[in-house]
Amino acid sequence: MQVKGSKALITGGGSGLGEATARRFASAGAKVTILDLASSHGAEVAEQIGGHFVAGDVTVTVDVAAAVEAAAGAMGGIHLCLNAAGIAPAHRVVSRSGDLFPLDLYEKVLRVNLIGTFDVTRHVAKRMAENKPNDDGERGVIVNVASIAATEGQIGQAAYSASKGGVAAMTLPLARDLASYGIRVNTIAPGIMETPMIAGMTDEVRESLTQVHVFPKRLGRASEFAALVQHLFENTLINGETVRLDAAARMGPR
């Protein structure tokens, strides 16, 4: 599909990877709606790029339904959905002091990263199915965000890895389910990206994470992620795939 003239809904577009994609699509001629928490920078980013902002929480299904309707109404449809809203809290299963991984935290990570992604996907897919198909029969593209922690979760990442493993695992069945509507579904599994999500880490942790990247030996850039989203949107043959964006990284236990 072509970016110019397209309509994009980006969750988590108020920061990091979602923000970079919102900026890239807007500057390439797409209409963009950002769905992010009311407390996020989503409204600010949307204003800067001439887009729309819908405040909402991807774990609240009435928010998701309302946001998808508002986005489709404001833009006149949705061709791209990027599910970039996500959280990454870490906790050991049993900490050194004997505390158990809090079950409510485990559930929250799954609700945001996995169930939120699925809820947005199902509402968006219904709207995309109403689009007029292009010459290739395409009506829309959904890009979800996993992580290399889907396959190589580190110490403390049991919940995060489970959520991202779920996102990667559902990519093919989503693509199969939505194929008859001409909707493609792909997932990006980033390595360590320079975004506010990891900005709060100590220099020591950031340095050790950077070492995981083989070449180039630096953190990934949000602009590199946004470029891949655009490629997945434009390349009709890529479907049901999870693409690593990780400078050949393979994470160890810590």
Q: Catalytic residue numbers?
A: 160
Least distance from ligand NAD to the Cβ atom of residue 64, Å = 9
Any contact of residue 153 with ligand NAD (CB under 6 A)?
no
Binder of ligand NAD out of 196, 217, 223, 235 (CB under 6 A): 196
Q: Say what angle helices 158-178 and 116-128 make with each other, to 10 degrees.
A: 20
Is the dihedral angle over the CA atoms 79, 177, 58, 236 positive or is it negative? negative
Least distance from ligand NAD to the Cβ atom of residue 37, Å = 4
Single out the segment in contact with ligand NAD by CB under 6 A; choices: 22-30, 79-87, 93-101, 135-143: 79-87
In the bound state with ligand NAD, the residue whose beta carbon lies nearer, of 114 and 183, is 114
Q: Is 151 helix (H, G, I), strand (E, B) or coil?
A: helix
Q: CA–CA separation, 249 vs 254, rounded Å?
A: 13
Binding to ligand NAD, residues 82-111 (CB under 6 A)? 84-88
**Residue type (1 letter), 15:** S
Find out whether the peptide bond into 216 is cis, omega within 30 degrees of 0. yes
Any contact of residue 147 with ligand NAD (CB under 6 A)?
yes
Any contact of residue 145 with ligand NAD (CB under 6 A)?
yes
E-assigned strand segments in 77-118? 80-83
Q: Which of 161, 158, 164, 247 is nearest to 211 (CA)?
A: 247
Cβ–Cβ under 8 Å, residues 122 and 139: no
Is the dihedral angle over the CA atoms 224, 247, 164, 161 positive or is it negative? negative
Contacts with ligand NAD by CB under 6 A: the residue count is 30
Any contact of residue 61 with ligand NAD (CB under 6 A)?
no
From residue 2 to residue 41, the character string flagging contacts with ligand NAD as x (rule: CB under 6 A) and all else as - is ---------xx-xxxxx-----------------xx--x-
The footprint of ligand NAD (CB under 6 A) covers 11-12, 14-18, 36-37, 40, 57-59, 84-88, 112-113, 116, 145, 147, 190, 192-193, 195-198
